[in-house]
Amino acid sequence: MKESILELEKAIGEVMDKASAEGLDYFDMRFEICPAEVIYGFGAYGMPTRFAHWSFGKGYSRIKTEYDLNLSRIYEMVINTDPCYAFLLDRNTLIQNKLIVGHALAHSDFFKNNAFFRSTSRRMLDTMEASARRIQDYELSYEQKTVESFIDAVLSIQEHVNPYDRLSESVHSSGKGSRQETKDVLGYLKAHSPILDDWQRDIVNIIREETLYFWPQLETKILNEGWATFWHLRLLRRMELSEAETLELAVMQSELITPGRFRINPYHLGLRILESIEAHFGTEELWDVRARENDVSLIRNYLTPELVDELDLYLYRRVGYEWRVVDKNWHRIRDTLVQSLINGGHPYIVVMDGDFKGLGELYLRHAYEGVELDVPYLERTLPHIHKLWSRTVHLETVLDEKTVQFSYDGERIARSFL
């Protein structure tokens, strides 16, 4: 065991030397070896120190089952902190860990230098640990079932924040609901809900801040994973590998970038776009792309007709009982992919009025851009929002090209055409 640790430490040093020589600028690194159960727990929770909730346990069960059935495997987890923590699976072979270390160093470089991560907290592990302790205290004071039910309601709309614009003082001030429009639904509820106690406002703020922390990872998934894949390949190609290591690397890389049958593989698409950028514009352009782009701008600016054809990308939908390819036009493929990535792939919901009709009712509007809301999901979510507001909640959207208003008054959901 001691010899294998020394061998791994030597390998980590070699990969880090190669990465620094290539120009990667990463945070100080902390590598830890963990069993599968620990890494999958981190993966389900998103962080090692996050608060407990049944939904994270559900995620862990799914991830662990896929691992046990050999359907998927998480080789590592990298945390956007300074220093940057990278957790390695204890069953990894040496060559797998070499690849993973290169991958982790590139992620750390991306976290440190990409513009969309500039405002994220690098001490979020400590922040989340303190938040988890406060929530534990609330469970002791107000009963676990009560706190868990409240967290359920907040998590149902956790994606509805505004990562680009901090709310003005008028929106954050307490008191009667404001008529100022805002995309930050959670921030608005925290500031203006007429029913929330201080401990509940704290939980809303905890979940809001954690969502803001994770948001840059949501909107750079393709570029971030493509960047890490690009560099782990380059670094290992610069190293002397045995024939057996080369073969194992090829197998692992093939598994990593195999295109999905029904969805985009971010590792594959990101890697191919970055390779195309280097081939056409040079390595310097890669550093600029890493610094300034997110997935939307990367796809819009660099997904070329040649790449669409080479990657065999297409649009498909269900026709009768069959799935059929319906379009291979590169413009429409690019634009559809971009649209699916806007706002992290989530519906764009705006608070329009917190005193609708002068009755203190909450009015939300869906910024419809051709994609309808999932109505059953909508109808399950409105009661959660009502729990956070306590008065009637309205949501305006578009169905079948008609403007529709859904309302929930605490007892039933009503639907009316506007």
Question: Which pLDDT belongs to residue 164?
Answer: 83
Q: pLDDT digits over 370-399, tens only?
A: 899 999 999 999 999 999 999 999 999 999
Q: How much is the mean pLDDT over the chain? A: 92
Tell me what the mean pLDDT of segment 93-97 comes to.
Answer: 93
Residue with the larger pLDDT of the pair 70 and 261: 261
Q: pLDDT digits over 396-411, tens only?
A: 999 999 999 999 999 9
User: Buried b vs exposed e over 176-205: b needs ≥16 C-beta within 10 Å?
Assistant: ebbeeebbbbbbbbbbbbeebeeebebbbb
Confidence bin at 366 (pLDDT 50/70/90): very high
Distance CA 393, CA 353 (A): 10
Proportion of the chain above pLDDT 90, given as a percent: 81
Distance CA 50, CA 211 (A): 12
Confidence bin at 74 (pLDDT 50/70/90): confident
Per-residue pLDDT for 175 more than 60?
no
Q: pLDDT digits over 199-237, tens only?
A: 999 999 999 999 999 999 999 999 999 999 999 999 999
Question: Which pLDDT belongs to residue 167?
Answer: 40
Q: DSSP readout, 190-217?
A: HHH-SS--HHHHHHHHHHHHHHHHHHHH
Contact 125, 81 (CB under 8 A): yes
Per-residue pLDDT for 168 more than 70?
no
Question: Which pLDDT belongs to residue 64?
Answer: 77
Question: Which pLDDT belongs to residue 75?
Answer: 75
Answer positive or negative: Cα dihedral of 285, 286, 288, 289. Answer: positive
Burial label, 376 (beta-carbon count in 10 A; 0-12, 13-18, 19+) = exposed
Per-residue pLDDT for 15 more than 50?
yes
Residue with the larger pLDDT of the pair 64 and 18: 18
Residue given tokens 């901090």 in the structure block: 166
Supply the DSSP symbol for 182.
B
Distance CA 259, CA 269 (A): 8
Distance CA 293, CA 282 (A): 16
Instruction: Give Cβ neighbours of residue 91 (< 8 Å, ≥ 6 apart).
Output: 36
Confidence bin at 145 (pLDDT 50/70/90): very high
Contact 205, 388 (CB under 8 A): no
Supply the DSSP symbol for 319.
E
Per-residue pLDDT for 179 more than 70?
no
Question: Which pLDDT belongs to residue 148?
Answer: 97
Contact 257, 226 (CB under 8 A): no
Confidence bin at 174 (pLDDT 50/70/90): very low
Per-residue pLDDT for 170 more than 80?
no
